[in-house]
Amino acid sequence: MRIVLIGPPGAGKGTQARVLAGLLSVPAISSGDLFRAETSRGTALGELVQRHTDAGELVPDELTAAVVTGRLREPDAADGFLLDGFPRTVGQAELLEEALGKDGTVIDAVLALGLPDEEIVQRLTGRRLCPACGTTVHTVFSPPRVPDRCDGCVGPLVRRADDTEETVLRRLALYAEQTVPLLRWYAARDLLFPVDAAGTVREVSDRMSSALAAVAR
């Protein structure tokens, strides 16, 4: 299956992409991860991307589409994939449609995770990470045993720079402006399946699987 996963920041998109890709045995392809790999390799493309991400902007559509559609041509994506974080604009969706059309393939379904803004702000502003072992906690929903210390490796927990309330609100505004029109674009093509992103990882992934079972029928 060829699936697109859309959702606002903090809706659990990355986590759900990994769960669903495992269930479907397809690669989860994240535009953010592809960009981070370029940046950490220090390529010219990575430097260009970083100028946009540092400014809190989206990377231009043509460039983003070229990077992602290039990845889709790799052999592991030949029989299906799950796109996470791309497309994010109508322009990107049009470029994706064009690129897939050349190979005679189409997107089967678009799963759109939804969560009220207040809950997103609460989730992201309370999120703390352990840079040493990658553990994520929440100051209210899953607090560490010792404040500001990782339960696993006892290292200090940190807050991501873009998890402050001001930045979260800016990211939500960008989502409303650039990505909400994309939901309407996919709805007009009968491809959109809204999924409630509230609850546990398991509850949300069960909802996504039920939505996809309806597509497969």
- The span of 85-93, 107-115, 124-132, 137-145 binding ligand AMP (CB under 6 A) equals 85-93
The answer to whether 13 is a known catalytic residue is yes
In degrees, rounded to 5, the angle at the alpha carbon of residue 9 between the alpha carbons of residues 62 and 44 is 35
Task: Tell me how far apart the alpha carbons of residues 81 and 27 are, in angstroms, rounded to a whole number.
Answer: 5
175 touches ligand AMP by CB under 6 A: no
Q: Which of 2, 16, 29, 35 touches ligand AMP by CB under 6 A?
A: 35
Identify the CA nearest to 7 among candidates 27, 38, 25, 30: 30
Q: Does residue 179 bind ligand AMP (CB under 6 A)?
A: no
Q: Which residues have C-beta within 8 Å of that of residue 123, sequence separation ≥ 6?
A: 10, 115, 138, 141
Contact call for residue 185 and ligand AMP (CB under 6 A): no
Hey, what are 207's tokens?
Answer: 């909802």
* Residue 127 is a catalytic residue: yes
Q: Closer to ligand AMP at the Cβ: 86 or 193?
A: 86
Looking at 123, 128, 171, 207, which residue is catalytic? 171
Task: Note whether 138 binds ligand AMP by CB under 6 A.
Answer: no
Mapping DSSP to helix (H, G, I), strand (E, B) and coil, where does residue 6 land?
A: strand
Interface region with ligand AMP, contact rule CB under 6 A, candidates 21-29, 56-64, 115-123, 139-147: 56-64
Q: How far apart are CA 188 and CA 170, in angstroms?
A: 27
For residues 118 and 88, is the Cβ–Cβ distance under 8 A? no
Q: Which of 2, 13, 71, 207 is labelled catalytic? A: 13
- 193 scored as a contact of ligand AMP (CB under 6 A): no
Count of residues near ligand AMP by CB under 6 A: 12
In the residue annotation, 88 being an active-site residue is answered as yes
CA distance 180 to 188: 13
Catalytic status, residue 123: no
Residues involved in catalysis: 13, 88, 127, 160, 171
